[in-house]
Structure 1
Amino acid sequence: MKKDKREITLKSYVTKKEYSQIKQLAKQTGFSVSEYMRRILTGQRIESRLDQEAFLSALKLNADLGRLGGCLNTILPRGLKMCLLQR
């Protein structure tokens, strides 16, 4: 399947500050400025790579806490666990 050739250029005037913001947002998503703007203008969903990385970090942390809890359950005798939980 052959992709359509992009032949038309859209032109828009922006300030240096606006361009800087657009460039930064594109970088966060991992897209070029051109691809980022194309997706925005066509209404496609844009997901930030930073949000995805934070989500994956939270999942890893949750798994680590689960493993830690499992280790504590096997290591600590029941009486000592109850003493620690009451504090």
Structure 2
Amino acid sequence: MKIVFFRTPKPKQFKYPPRYYDEEKERWERRRKELGIGENGKKTDFKSQVGSRWRRLRKTDNSRQKKANMSVIIYLLIVAMLIYFVFFA
């Protein structure tokens, strides 16, 4: 488990603008997305997709919260040990 005192900023993202742009293809893909038609030509089930995304996000949020709580506990233990050694040793 790593202990981080300061959070460093993420590196700047690389953005590549493509040289070729097919407006009709973009319009076609946007329309398919609006209608909910997948790559295979069938409609996708948005309700199940949204539910699975929420479950996945909630699971990652819980794991992040557990890691944050654990690091706070470790910091408190370290501070308590330092106080003990300073005052009672």
Coarse TM-score class (shorter-chain normalised) = 0.3 to 0.5
Structure with a larger share of its residues in helix: 1
TM-score (ref. length: structure 2): 0.43
Instruction: Give the TM-score normalised by structure 1.
Output: 0.44
